[in-house]
Amino acid sequence: MAIKHLANLDLNNNEIKNVKIDVVTSDPSSNLAEGRIIYNSQEDLMKFYDGSAWVSMKNVDTDVDVNVANLEARLPQIDSNVTIGNATGVTVTTAGDLTVTGDLTVNGTTTTVNSTTTTVDDPIFTVGGDSAPGSDDNKDRGIEFRYHDGSQARIGFFGFDDSTGKFTFIPSATNTSEVFSGSKGNIDINNIDLAGSIKTVDGSTPTDGQILIGHSANQDMELGTITEGTGITVTNSAGGIQISSNGLGGKFAVNLDNGESAVSLSGNTFTVTHNLGTRDIIVQVVERVSPYETVQADVARATTNTITVEFASAPGNTNYKVLISKIA
């Protein structure tokens, strides 16, 4: 039987030699006291009781080799934050693949991924924060890319311009605190299906009647305006162009109305510009209301491109129309 000591032993700084620590096959659950020491023969570990649990003495000294079996047993037991390294620039290297089965949060200034291929299963890529900003930070959102154009290294940007509220592409960009500037680039695409409208062309807002027309010298499409010519009247309106043929094919017709661009009135005489280029014409003056009869007025072929129609009294602007036919 072991002799029980009911008082502390003071060896007065003398050694205990050939001592064997209490050998057990499992960690004791009784007679627990802080500082008690055992040797667990099943685990081949020296342990001490810290007042709440048995602690392996191998884990006390960081210089003690930690074997794979011990790591496999202990790592799954981690249930609080763990810090690796005590200095900046600590590198953790794995010889094989690393799989993270839970969510991964990286808190830092710069995250660099040095890989040949990066695959993301998520079909939506979110930039600008894990939640919507509470106010406008005046920063652009998009993709910054680096490339070499054959003469120098450049930075490109494709994304949302916060200052304009529009998507933009800048092949040679300057990044100033996440605000990009530079000349807009070209985009090579197939079809464009516009749900809205074209607001500007080359920075200019179209005016009534302007259309997009090819420019061979500049190799692009530019805003153009259809102008009037011989026998053609052009009326531009919001979203429309009205083209009237007044003299094509040797014929010309116009209301004797001072508001018409080809008609002017002086006293009782109308001057009509027909631009048929000849005096060999037949002129008729007809009523503009039922029964649309032909009337007689003094007609003179003033020039090869104009005639005058004179009435005895003021004819008004809504009563008559002139019909002109060129004789070949």
**CB neighbourhood size of 194 (10 A):** 6
Domain end, chosen from 128, 155, 181, is at: 181
**Residue 209 included in any domain:** no
Is 63's pLDDT higher than 60? no
Phi, psi of 248, deg, nearest 5: -70, 140
Tokens of 161: 């311009």
Is 160 domain-assigned? yes
Q: Which residue has the higher pLDDT, 141 or 71?
A: 141
Residue 152 domain-assigned (yes or no): yes
User: Do the domain assignments include residue 9?
Assistant: no
Which strand (E) or helix (H) includes residue 69?
Answer: helix 68-74
In this prediction, residues 16-41 reach a mean pLDDT of: 92
Residue 245 scores a pLDDT above 90: no
Higher confidence at residue 79 or residue 291? Answer: 291
Domain total in the chain: 3
pLDDT score at 230 = 61
* Assigned domain for 1 exists: no
Q: Is residue 151 part of a domain?
A: yes
Considering 181, 207, 230, which residue would you say is the last residue of a domain?
181
Mean pLDDT taken over the chain: 88
Distance CA 55, CA 69 (A): 17
47 domain residue, yes or no: yes
pLDDT for 231 = 60
Per-residue pLDDT for 76 more than 70?
yes
Residue 113 lies in a domain: no
pLDDT digits (tens, 9 = 90+) for 77-115: 888 887 777 767 788 888 888 898 889 888 888 888 888
Would you state the pLDDT for residue 156?
A: 97
Q: What is the mean pLDDT of residues 21-35?
A: 93
Higher per-residue confidence, 68 vs 224: 224
Angle at 94 between CA 61 and CA 76, to 5 degrees: 55
Is residue 177 domain-shared with residue 249, that is, in the same domain?
Answer: no
Look at residue 58 and tell me whether its pLDDT is greater than 80.
no
Domain coverage including residue 58: 19-62
pLDDT of residue 218 exceeding 70: yes
pLDDT at 315: 87
pLDDT at 238: 84
Query: Is residue 295's pLDDT more than 90?
Result: yes
